[in-house]
Amino acid sequence: MKLNQLIVFWLLLASAASAQTNQAWSIFRYPERMFAGNAVVNLMPLFAWWARQPLVVTNQNAGSTSDANGSPEEARPLSSWYRITGTPMATTGSSWLMDAVVYTSPTRHTNSVILLNNPPVGEVALFNALKAQLAEARQRIADARRVYDANTNAEAKALAEVAMYRRSWSKVASDGVIAYTRVAMQKHNDSATALNQLDQLEAARRQIEAQLETIPSRNGVYQVDLFAMLLGRNKQGVPTYDLGLVNDTPP
């Protein structure tokens, strides 16, 4: 991607983040799509147009069929490309059958059962991998917290024993003070080690959650939210869209 395109792309990401209510991910992902014969479609003009549109319908005549929400003279680029959202219902060959919401603009959409070619299987794999990592991180955090609490409690008990021996003035008081002081010091060090591990695990958890927020989902389930090109209808009359090939393979 050229430098000027990259700058515009990041501006679009910032615009999307501020405009999309209750949505952490950006719809302006994968601006370049590849098709058969190495043909590449650049979606930057559509992304830029989309980001300029208001999120509510204003000054529209009743019965208007225009897709553009912007000024009348501003034509919508890449008119065969639509924003597709929804959850896959089934797999048909290498395609997904979806109960989708199809957007022609930020405020104009219809519900439709569609077939999606070249679905984002890499993004789904990354989403599922991150969910598994998050579950493991949470379990390790719970384990580390139990270790920290156990060592903290053991340290407190050892210090209480030290105080008791110091008050006792018995013949073995000195030995008891020394022994339980050593225990308290060891448990204190163990607590510090567990706390350090807990901090590292919490940082990893936050990083995983931040990555997950960049991938569309609803109630913990992956959801498609990408632009795709309308190809036409299949023999059963189902609209067929094509995402194109994207670089969504997990690292």
Indicate the domain borders of the chain.
3-53+75-120+223-242, 125-213
Per-residue pLDDT of the chain (251 residues; tens, 9 = 90+): 554 444 444 444 444 433 343 467 899 999 999 998 889 999 999 999 999 998 875 444 433 444 444 444 468 999 999 999 999 999 998 999 999 999 999 999 999 999 999 999 999 999 999 999 999 999 999 999 999 999 999 999 999 999 998 888 787 889 989 999 999 999 999 999 999 999 999 999 999 999 999 999 998 999 999 999 999 988 789 999 999 998 765 54
Query: How is residue 177 written in tokens?
Result: 């003070």
Distances (CA, A) of 184 to 144, 154, 171: 19, 7, 21
What are the beta bridge partners of residue 105?
Answer: 108
pTM over 0.85: no
Residue 239 CB partners (closer than 8 Å, separation 6+): 102, 112, 114, 115, 230, 232, 233
3-state secondary structure of 154: helix
DSSP H or E segment with residue 116: strand 108-117
Nearest-Å Rg of the Cα atoms of the chain is: 29
Write the secondary structure of 185-251 as one string of H (helix), E (strand) and C (coil): HHHHHHHHHHHHHHHHHHHHHHHHHHHHHCCCEECCEECEEEEEEEEEECCCCCEEEECCECCCCCC
Instruction: Enter the tokens of residue 207.
Output: 């990083």
Four-residue CA torsion sign, 145, 151, 154, 160: negative
E strands, 1-107, are 32-35, 39-42, 81-92, 95-105
Tell the CATH topology of 125-213: Helix Hairpins (1.10.287)
